Amino acid sequence: MTDAVAALSILSHLTGEARDGVLAGFYARWQDEPLVLDKWFAVQARATRPDSVETVRALLSHPKFSLKNPNRVRALIGSFAHGNPTGFNRADGAGYELLAAVALDIDRFNPHMAARLLGAFESWRTLGRRRQALAKTALQQLASTPLSTDSYEIVSKTLGND
């Protein structure tokens, strides 16, 4: 399994039919094994591709994905936000918007999970000026919405005195 996931991880960074075929084959073989399926989601979320945000967004609608499944959320959203700095910090801010929207949804029923995901924003001040502005905007929008105590603490602490 270690070798199979490693190979899948390498191929997930590519484009084209070969990648799609390998991902589909892995899914077909392991779709009924929750822990292995979590790896399938995580591999795609960590793939440093220009369309990683769109891939993660599409996987949110996958029949085997549920925001109410913490392991699946960690595999997809956690892997994207914490394990794919290229995708999460995309120059157009789409990664920040995606995380903010998903965390806000999750915050309604699992505040601890939402707060943990929002921790990905903690390094926003180390980014270039444009990315800082986009991340800050996402954080400010979150701060202006009703949040759980857990998420509000992370957002306000991350924003600091700005």
pLDDT digits (tens, 9 = 90+) for 122-138: 999 999 999 999 999 99
pLDDT in tens, 18-35: 888 999 999 999 999 999
pLDDT digits (tens, 9 = 90+) for 37-81: 999 999 999 999 999 999 999 999 999 999 999 999 999 999 999
* Distance, C-alpha 143 to centroid of its chain: 20
Cβ atoms of residues 139 and 153 within 8 Å: no
Contact criterion met (CB below 8 Å) for 107 and 114: yes
pLDDT of residue 162: 55
pLDDT band, very low/low/confident/very high, at 11 (cuts 50, 70, 90): confident
Which residues, at least 6 apart from 101, have a Cβ–Cβ distance to it below 8 Å?
Answer: none
Q: What is the mean pLDDT of residues 141-160?
A: 96
How far is 152 from 146, CA to CA, in rounded Å?
A: 8
Give the residue-averaged pLDDT of 129-151: 97
- Residue 18, pLDDT score: 82
Which pTM was predicted?
0.93
pLDDT band of residue 4 (cuts 50, 70, 90) is: confident
What's the whole-number mean pLDDT along residues 72-91?
98
Helices (H), the chain: 2-11, 17-30, 34-46, 52-59, 70-73, 79-83, 85-88, 94-107, 111-118, 129-143, 149-159
Mean pLDDT of 82-109: 98
